[in-house]
Amino acid sequence: MQRMRENALIALKAAGRTALNAWVSVGSGYQAELLGYAGFDAVTVDLQHGPYGFDTAVQLLQAISGTPAVPLARSAGGTLAEINKLLDAGAYGIVCPLIDTVDAAAAFARACRYPPRGARSFGPARGLTYGGADYAAHADDQVLSLAMIETTQALEDIERIARVEELSGIYVGPSDLGLALGLGASAWPHPQLVQAIRHVRDVCHAQGKYTGIFSSTPAMDAALQGIGFDLITPGNDAQQLRAGAQQRIQPLRAP
């Protein structure tokens, strides 16, 4: 019998290896495909801040699915309807923003699991095409549910959030967490922010949970890898495009 395509991110964690994740803020299927072939372990389609909607997200997931990278999505919110549609569209994991409480984390986790473990409705569509004929039998164990920790309320409740049974793990949003702590959106490496991030990582790993985080600079990338996050996102596609263009232009602008 054909088995569901395995989530390579789970295998990387088991092997103790850091996964590298690309982030699609530009609604271009070609660009998403290029990132999928660039050496990243995963590519995340961003519906929270990306200037595109669900129809474009499906096309981005299709483009990623033809590459070696695992297709993920950040939902715009935590509704069951949106999360179901993204999983049915073939996302192998959901990053859900603004999970502030244990109740919100539990509701999100349930949206990513079929009954009796959760509340997800059956209708896998592209999930079945990409995942394989027995998708429904194994999806609960292969799909990642990652709750974003980016507020002081979430930070205070992190120990209870990390104990939510069907929650795969967390994904830290350092910019919003820095803002919430009164430090600003570019606070790294402020000791208070570093301490908060380390605390989240330690609590989650103590519960056997997956940990991911967004990073803004190469120095921050290295520091976060040293802290021991399972997945690191080294900037988004727009930042990488801008940085690459500036790197090529600057020598030609020199006097």
Q: Is 49 a known active-site residue?
A: yes
Domain CATH for 39: 3.20.20.60
Structure tokens at 191: 């000791």
- Other Cβ atoms within 10 Å of 59 Cβ, number: 16
Q: Determine if the peptide bond prior to 251 is cis (ω within 30°).
A: no
**Cβ-proximal residues to 11 (8 Å cutoff; 6+ apart), any chain:** none
Residue 16 belongs to some domain of the structure: yes
Selecting among 49, 138, 190, 205, the annotated active-site residue is 49
* Residue-by-residue pLDDT tens, the chain, 255 positions: 458 899 999 999 999 999 999 999 999 999 999 999 999 999 999 999 999 999 999 999 999 999 999 999 999 999 999 999 999 999 999 999 999 999 999 999 999 999 999 999 998 899 989 999 999 999 999 999 999 999 999 999 999 999 999 999 999 999 999 999 999 999 999 999 999 999 999 999 999 999 999 999 999 999 999 999 999 999 999 999 999 999 999 999 877
Domain count, the chain: 1
Pull the structure tokens for residue 92: 């192998």
233 in a domain, yes or no? yes
Domain annotation covers residue 27:
yes
Asked if the structure places residue 255 within a domain, the reply is no
**Distance (Å, whole) CA 48 – CA 127:** 21
Residue 136 domain boundaries: 8-250
Q: Is the separation of the CB atoms in 92 and 70 below 8 Å?
A: yes
What letter represents residue 65's amino acid?
Answer: S
- Is 40 among the domain residues? yes
178 token code pair: 């820095």
Position 194 in a domain: yes
What span, in angstroms and rounded, lies between the C-alpha atoms of 57 and 29?
A: 9
Residue 223 lies in a domain: yes
Residue 1: predicted pLDDT:
46
Which residues, other chains included, contact 207 with Cβ-Cβ below 8 Å and sequence gap of 6+? 162, 163
Q: Can you give the pLDDT at residue 2?
A: 53
Place of tokens 């009954």: 115
Please indicate, yes or no, if residue 150 is contained in any of the structural domains. Answer: yes
pLDDT for position 246: 93
